[in-house]
Amino acid sequence: MGNQLSIANLNFSVIGIEVLLIGVATLIFLIDKFVKNKNYAFYISILVCALISVLLYYSPFGEFTRAYKTDFFTITLKEFIVFGTILILIMSYGYLQNYKNLNLGEYYALILFSIVGSFLMVSGTDLITIYLSIELMSFPVYFLIALNYAYNKPAIEGSFKYFIAGSFSSIFMLLSLGIIYYFTGSFYLKDIFIKLSQQVHQKEILLAFMLLLISFSIKLSFVPFHMWAPDAYESAPIPITSFIASLVKLAALATLIKIILLGFMPIKVEIGKLLIPIILLTILVGNIMAVKQDNFIRMLAYSSIAHAGYAGLGLISADYLGYSFALFYMLIYLIMAVGIFSVLIFFANYQKEYLYIPNLAGLSKKMPFLSFLILIFMFSLAGVPPTAGFIAKFYLFMSLVKAHYVLVAVLAIAFSVIGAYPYLRVVKFIYMDEEKLPISQYKFDWSFIIPVGIASVLIILLGIYPKILVNFVNKTLFLYLSTLYIPS
């Protein structure tokens, strides 16, 4: 009886933030039909996210059940997720003012539900909890893509493709869980770690992890599980495209790293070797496919595949520096994605023709400020110094060299040279070609200035002085590793 779980023993304070998010999202769903001015949902969502960013600072560490635990590592990840969510909510506000059929309370409520899923993912300590959390994060995104049907008829197709890919992801994860449970007798990551430490059934569990890796590869759009991404990205509302490309992938990558650290650490080197062909192919294919795209959103969709591959390089090195640099890269990509997709929202609101890259010709003569912002974001995505994108890639390549994967580092650098072309092509059209389109009347509102201002400043600041964020991420992960499995 003493080992049985009782409500009196549950520490509800550690899940208070998730409960708050669920309550607010549910409230928005319930009252939306009765409120005419749909902007209310934005104000509620932004206030709740701002409140949560403060509450996380005071959030207690501990377990709710054995399957859910909050600690410094998970709280830090949640702060980053909330930061990105606030920026994407601001981007959404400006976008939805011009796309009234999307300006519904359920749009914001679905984002909040997806964030709940990502919070539960990074706090989960058993595979069943993580699996259910991934589903909670993913299902709202399917609906958010489909909401764009009023303005983009292929939205249903893009949503359905993502749903089918997500279904396959679930199938592979469940197959993996079945094998893992058969050989370890548990879904808890700590129990799996103990079993692997005894060097029992390591080959069989590595096979199970391969299936788990396929599941996460679909979410991260690793090659060859990437084909859903371009259609889903192109057909979704632009802020949701940014959400999928950055926050969803950040949560998925952070969860994958946590699974390796907590459950599969004894076979981390084998996992790293297993990832080499997948990661290199992801970088190569993503960059090559981005080269021939004239649609700006589709180009960024393929390039996001490559950027997920760059982040995956940190997993190959199989040490805490590599894992921390992988997280650092995804944080930098989040900032870059917020910046460039804010620019695309501006184009979508005022002159959609500029979403076609050749039509950007001569833009610098008519819109010098916006052109300079695009230059910053393109240089950072391409990895040109002194931007944050360059520093993030540099750290990943150095982690590979330190782990004696020199050939992998050389190939990744070579592929990144190919990957610079689509971004430099955009800059070439803007600054070197003669103008094609007349510019219509435009203005920059606060929902554009805030995200691009924050993104551009951070890209330059972290490019020149990256130690602030790099040391913080490194020390967070090191502290997390140092406290794992210490006997009580």
Q: What is the pLDDT of residues 173-221, one digit of tens each?
A: 999 999 999 988 888 888 888 888 887 788 888 899 999 999 999 999 8
Residues 259 and 352 occupy one common structural domain:
no
H or E segment at 399?
helix 388-402
Helix and strand numbers, DSSP H then E, in the chain? 20, 2
Last residue of a domain, one of 263, 290, 313: 263
Between 7 and 123, residue with greater pLDDT: 123
User: Six-digit token pair at 59?
Assistant: 């959030």
Residues 280 and 140 occupy one common structural domain:
no
Residues 281 and 134 occupy one common structural domain:
no
Residues 257 and 273 occupy one common structural domain:
no
Question: Would you state the pLDDT for residue 9?
Answer: 65
Going by the DSSP 8-state scheme, the letter that residue 440 receives in this structure is P
Domain that includes residue 69, residue range:
1-263
Mean pLDDT of 219-234: 87
Residues 289 and 227 occupy one common structural domain:
no
Residues 29 and 71 occupy one common structural domain:
yes
407 has a pLDDT exceeding 90: yes
Question: Would you state the pLDDT for residue 85?
Answer: 94
Mean pLDDT of 480-486: 60
Question: Would you state the pLDDT for residue 484?
Answer: 61
What integer best gives the mean pLDDT of the chain? 87
Question: Would you state the pLDDT for residue 470?
Answer: 83
Residues 345 and 246 occupy one common structural domain:
no
Residues paired with residue 83 on neighbouring β-strands, in sequence order: none
Residues 8 and 111 occupy one common structural domain:
yes
Last residue of a domain, one of 242, 263, 284: 263
Contact by Cβ (8 Å): 402, 317: yes
Residues 227 and 301 occupy one common structural domain:
no
Contact by Cβ (8 Å): 76, 476: yes
366 has a pLDDT exceeding 90: no
Residues 116 and 250 occupy one common structural domain:
yes
Query: 92: buried, middle or exposed (CB in 10 Å: 19+, 13-18, 0-12)?
Result: buried
H or E segment at 70?
strand 68-70
Query: Which amino acid is residue 407, in one-letter code?
Result: L
Residues 105 and 167 occupy one common structural domain:
yes
Backbone angles phi, psi at 483, to 5 degrees: -105, 0
50 has a pLDDT exceeding 90: yes
Mean pLDDT of 359-386: 89
346 has a pLDDT exceeding 60: yes
Report the domain count for the chain.
2
Question: What's the CA gap between 338 and 354, in Å, rounded?
Answer: 18
Residues 219 and 114 occupy one common structural domain:
yes
Last residue of a domain, one of 238, 263, 288: 263
